[in-house]
Structure 1
Amino acid sequence: MVRQPPAPDCMGDRERRTRTLGGDVTDDGKRRAGWPRVEDRRPGGHAVRREGVDQTVSETLLRIGETLVTSLGVSECCIYEVDEEAGCLRGQAVWSTHLLPETVEFMEGADRLTALPKVREALERHVATVIHRDEEPPAAAERESMEYWGEATALFVPLVSGERAVGLLELTQWEARREFRQEELQLVEAFARVAALAIENARSAGHQQRLNRRLAALLHASRALASTMVVDEVLQRLAKEAAETLRVPSCYIYEYDAAGDAIVWRTEYQADADRVFPDPPGTAYPLDDYPWDREVLRRGELRVWSVDDPGLSPEHRRSMEEWAELTMITVPLCYGGEPVGMMELAETRPGRRFSEDDLSLARALGEQAAVALRNAQLFRRETWRNERLVRLLSLSGELTGVLSPEAITATASAGLPGLFPDGDVAAEAVSLVSTEDEEADGSGDAASGGTPAAGAPPAVDKLVSEALAAGSPRQALDGRRRRLVVPLVHKREPVGWLDLRRGSGRPFEQDEVELLQILPTRWRWRSTTAASTPPSPIRRPRTASPACSTTALSTSASTTRSCAPAATTCRCRC
């Protein structure tokens, strides 16, 4: 076996295996006589079933192993495929005169190419290599491996296709040293060429299957985008499609909240119905707690994480272990070069390595998810704008019904928070125009409905001063809260400001600021109009002026005197 023996602290497993084989191990590690008798042995084979590999290929390799064991009289034949991306050998088939559960378990896993120098030499130089345990091997690892598996002789033949090794064929003899004759080596090499061709054909067919699977997944994702306008339903379909296409048990999609520096969980897919995300959709996770996700969003590059990566941070490893995640693909979702979200594909089964085709497919599905998230953002933004405009219209109607600046200020302060759906905004409208100004100018009286303002003028701090001086909104952090000041200017003169504070510290977006600037236009007009418009005069009965009355009396006193038109014409507007 090319598998390395266990560490010294695993001697119990080694002894258990020895007893299973029916022998004992001497002090130098060599096995005494005690292997099962020929009539007691259980010959058999095992073909490894791997995702994306045609099972007929594994069965073909199994038959090759059986033929070699039977015709050459060796103890065991193992056939491996080279995984170039992972840098390891992956078992494909084994036929043995005494098949053990440990052998089957080993073939299901993977073995590093660098474990044994002779194996690496056979693969690099494309030559068959024979190792005998009773000869001094070039590396102690080879002796330890052969002693652990009870091998006296091992023959390694590379499976070559074109100019590269695609696999390895291993023949082992257990009980005694075995010398292979030239014609036997030629027979093994002939079967090795057949095995190499089978593996290469399987790779080509697998590549075509993966390509078809990718095209089908993208087609289904496109249909999901066009089938419904409900964004959550689209994201759910995309998560399911991504998980099933890449054959992972879990998929999560998050939306990126740049203003809040957080990711918001939108949807998930779980192959296991009992594995449920505990938090409800819409839960926000600060990126300060997940710096590795912030880095993925910042760089815009896909990352593959493994729980056994030495460079993994302790916090990240703890997070993966909590959910029993062994491998994780994190795909940044970008639209127009800007991050809009993130998709995670989690694998909980051991031994899974994602190929470049898998990662390419994950990126393509991520592009579809990014479009869905962007559509969701635009739809949500338009919905909010429409709702705010309705509320703004209602607030403008309320402002129209009041006259005094103080009443206008109170109405605006009470109505402004309703323009923000998050519910964590406090607002205050501050006026620099009051009824006192009106009375000081002599332009109003008690009939105006206003009451004199009492107290000192409103305080003007640095942020307010900057906004009033610039004549444009200004926002900044005020402790843990976000503060926005929108100046109110009438005829180039400041008449007040809107002071808003958001508890979460999230900045006010541009469309929110633009919406707020619509209201001040209406509000400052009403405020200045209310302060400068005098009350309506009291209408009196129409009477003649004193001069006109005198003329009328003198005229009636003498009825015989005729008045000249010029002398009796009244010039007043009675």
Structure 2
Amino acid sequence: AVIQALSASLELKDLLDEALSRTIFALGFPGGLIYLADERSGEMRLHSYRGLPIPVVEHLDSQRLDGALCAIVCQEGRPLALEDLSASAPVDVSGLLEAGLQAYVGVPISHKERVLGTLCLFDTEPHAISESDCALLVAIGQQIGVAVENARLFESVTREREVAQTLLDTAEALSTTLEVDQLLERVLDELQKVVPYDAAAICRLYEADLAPTAASNDHTPTAWIVASRGLQSAPTQGLQCEGTPYLHRVVHERSPLILPDVQQEPGWHPVEGFAAARSWLSVPLISHDRVIGVLMTASHQPGKYDEETARLALAFAHQVALALENSRLYGQTRAQLREAILLHNVTAALSSTLDMDQLLPYVARSLCEILNSSGAEICNVDQETNTITAIADYIPEEARRKPRPASRRTYRLADLPATTEALARRRPKQIQAGDPTLAPRERARLKAYAAQSMLLLPLVAHDRVLGFAQVWESRSPRRFTSGEISAGQTVIHQAAIALENARLFEEAQRRVRELQLLHDVGLAAASGVRLEETMQAAAEALASALPDTWVTLMLLDPETGELRLEANAGNPSEAARIPPLQPGQGIAGWVAQHGEPALVPDVSLDPRYIETIPGVRSELCVPLAAGPRITGVLDVKSRRLNAFSEDDLRLLSTLANNLAV
């Protein structure tokens, strides 16, 4: 009957309950129980009981079995029969006697000479055990051992099939999306089915910290949490592998790490957000023989994870790594396609105009869009003053609510060593707000943009530094990848060529205008018969070429040495009231006296200036000379500050030479 019961089922608890019931009935005992040793820990655990009061069962299950009767049977691997517990017992059985038990018989449950547990029978009265009954019990113990092994094998096969099906379902679920954000959330959903957790996180590894400083040159891997569930707080910084032993071990040994109780681990420092963890399991994410991340799970209960759980988690992690790699390749392909389209559009746009006022904002916008950043700015470099000035920028609509520095800002390069280094080496450079070695002015610049990271891209054309672009990220710390930097350099290289072409075009246009002006003034001067007509025609031609200016021609009186107005254009009514000037009087008098030109960006700051026409802000005056003799001056005034350049000075000097002749 017992053998029939053992073959009736492969469910371990069912077959043990039925076999125990038939055994105590066949041998005339009122109750009994079955202990089996745990397959991994070897600890004896109660699996079945029959005919014993619940308090007695609880008492037997709660007492330590290392010195109990069942433990002796299991350790020695032979039967133990005690007809009267009060008369003879190898260990203290006072607890059994107090529970009203008087007789005991136990036999090992074995399979192929390996003890799996014990079969124990109890009686509330003294009970003699015959040799035949004892032999029968030994045979029953062996049959139960075979049934237990078969049931465990069946459970193992069933569990493996369930795991395989779960992993298959997981693989199918992970393959339904290539968008990394959706994929990470799905990973955490599927992980709960394989490895139950109270908190979990997916970390991605980077070869260097987001802010490796020149001083530390730190290139140790850093783990950043990219998705999580159940964390008490969101982590604010990455985890340095070298400074986190439990993370370092997983990454470098490429094997799971199980911590049954983190409170018992020396040197345990909980990850931010995992403060309530008691048991811990982390496994590496490996793709193409390279650890790309770590999967971390935690439970609020100690002893939650074991080797079997770690094996399942590792198999799951392999699928996650594959899915992440596919997602990365998908994202990389999309990014490359997007970059190619944008670069094509940038090339077409930059080749369609030579107007710098259109080129510079477009370059800033293109950089911002290609690198998906919070903003971009173009700065020029003044080699004479060793300063930089922001001349164009672009900030997306969603980022415009954040603080923004005023336009046309100028900075001294001496205060910006990182920027100076990038320009001197003519290579891109990344700046991080978290870099402790960052210069105060550069830190202030990042703060002004609310930026956590910034990428500097020098603008170089024909081995000459024209300026640089700075691209910043305000949403989170960011390390621009080599691919992103390469794309930015491509835009900057094309922009540098376009800007150089625009400069050359503007210079050519200026030369054409100068030649045209020289021709017009010369033609106007030649059309006059008298000197007064020649001078007036020249003044009018010059005023026509220089809008919003007043042009005056003044000649020296050989008798008095005074400068007298000979011709004017632009505002004749005001200029006609200019009185004669004594040598050295005003800017024009100074030019006539010294025979040198004067370029005055702001007349209010020049002590030589005297007001002859109201509203003048800047002035350019050149001498008229016939050989070594000064005959007069050519004077141009403007209502704008800094209205004239060195090019204008050169042009007026050429005109003055022609007019003097």
Bin of the TM-score, shorter chain as denominator length: 0.5 to 0.7
Change (3 A) 1:146 1:489: closer
Structure 2: how far apart are the matches of 1:110 and 1:172? 18
Q: Please tell me whether the aligned partners of residues 152 and 173 of structure 1 are also in contact (alpha carbons under 8 angstroms).
A: yes
The normalised TM-score by structure 2 is 0.53
**What whole-Å deviation, never above 9, does each CA across 1:509-562 have from its counterpart, x for those lacking one?**
5x556534532441231xxxxxxxxxxxxxxxxxxxxxxxxxxxxxxxxxxxxx
Structure 1: how far apart are the matches of 2:515 and 2:404? 36
Structure 2: how far apart are the matches of 1:81 and 1:276? 29
Q: Please tell me whether the aligned partners of residues 278 and 302 of structure 2 are also in contact (alpha carbons under 8 angstroms).
A: yes
1:193 aligned partner: 318
Q: Please tell me whether the aligned partners of residues 524 and 541 of structure 2 are also in contact (alpha carbons under 8 angstroms).
A: no
Secondary structure at 1:127 match in 2: coil
Which of 75, 81, 88 is matched with 2:222 structurally?
88
**What whole-Å deviation, never above 9, does each CA across 1:49-73 have from its counterpart, x for those lacking one?**
xxx9534642553344223324xxx
Q: Please tell me whether the aligned partners of residues 370 and 488 of structure 2 are also in contact (alpha carbons under 8 angstroms).
A: no
CA displacement at 1:418 relative to structure 2: 8.3
Change (3 A) 1:428 1:84: farther
Matched, 1:211 2:373: no
Matched, 1:270 2:399: no
Matches within 5 A, 1:56-205: 57-59=183-185, 61-70=187-196, 74-85=197-208, 86=210, 87-94=221-228, 99-100=230-231, 102=232, 105-106=234-235, 110-131=238-259, 132-137=261-266, 139=267, 142-143=268-269, 145=271, 149-178=275-304, 180-181=306-307, 183-205=308-330
The one-letter code of the counterpart of 2:333 is: Q
1:245 aligned partner: 370
Structure 2: how far apart are the matches of 1:89 and 1:279? 34
The one-letter code of the counterpart of 2:412 is: D
The one-letter code of the counterpart of 1:288 is: R
Matched, 1:515 2:515: no
Higher relative contact order (CA 8 A, sep 6+): 1
Structure 2: how far apart are the matches of 1:218 and 1:467? 55
**What whole-Å deviation, never above 9, does each CA across 1:479-508 have from its counterpart, x for those lacking one?**
998999988776x76667979999989995
Matches within 5 A, 1:519-558: 519-525=655-661
Secondary structure at 2:337 match in 1: helix
**What whole-Å deviation, never above 9, does each CA across 1:392-412 have from its counterpart, x for those lacking one?**
44544565548669x999998
CA displacement at 1:117 relative to structure 2: 1.9
CA displacement at 1:218 relative to structure 2: 0.7
Matches within 5 A, 1:114-513: 114-131=242-259, 132-137=261-266, 139=267, 142-143=268-269, 145=271, 149-178=275-304, 180-181=306-307, 183-228=308-353, 231-256=356-381, 262-263=388-389, 265-272=391-398, 275=401, 284-288=408-412, 291-292=415-416, 295=420, 296-396=422-522, 399-400=525-526, 401=528, 434=558, 509=646, 512=648
Change (3 A) 1:399 1:257: farther
Structure 2: how far apart are the matches of 1:378 and 1:474? 27
Change (3 A) 1:412 1:57: same
Q: Please tell me whether the aligned partners of residues 250 and 269 of structure 1 are also in contact (alpha carbons under 8 angstroms).
A: yes
Structure 1: how far apart are the matches of 2:412 and 2:540? 35
CA displacement at 1:360 relative to structure 2: 1.6
Secondary structure at 1:149 match in 2: coil
Highest CA radius of gyration, 1 or 2?
2
CA displacement at 1:384 relative to structure 2: 3.7
Structure 1: how far apart are the matches of 2:592 and 2:431? 49
The one-letter code of the counterpart of 2:279 is: T
Structure 2: how far apart are the matches of 1:287 and 1:212? 37
Secondary structure at 1:308 match in 2: coil
Q: Please tell me whether the aligned partners of residues 600 and 642 of structure 2 are also in contact (alpha carbons under 8 angstroms).
A: no
The one-letter code of the counterpart of 1:301 is: R
Q: Please tell me whether the aligned partners of residues 90 and 110 of structure 1 are also in contact (alpha carbons under 8 angstroms).
A: yes
The normalised TM-score by structure 1 is 0.60
Change (3 A) 1:276 1:340: farther
Q: Please tell me whether the aligned partners of residues 354 and 505 of structure 2 are also in contact (alpha carbons under 8 angstroms).
A: no
Structure 1: how far apart are the matches of 2:228 and 2:399? 36
Change (3 A) 1:436 1:93: closer
Identity %, equivalent residues: 22
Structure 2 unmatched ranges of 5 or more: 1-172, 211-220, 562-579, 607-617
The one-letter code of the counterpart of 1:216 is: I
Q: Please tell me whether the aligned partners of residues 80 and 91 of structure 1 are also in contact (alpha carbons under 8 angstroms).
A: yes
Secondary structure at 2:294 match in 1: strand
Structure 1: how far apart are the matches of 2:631 and 2:425? 44
Q: Please tell me whether the aligned partners of residues 64 and 195 of structure 1 are also in contact (alpha carbons under 8 angstroms).
A: no
Change (3 A) 1:290 1:65: farther
Change (3 A) 1:351 1:63: same
CA displacement at 1:167 relative to structure 2: 0.9
Q: Please tell me whether the aligned partners of residues 81 and 92 of structure 1 are also in contact (alpha carbons under 8 angstroms).
A: yes
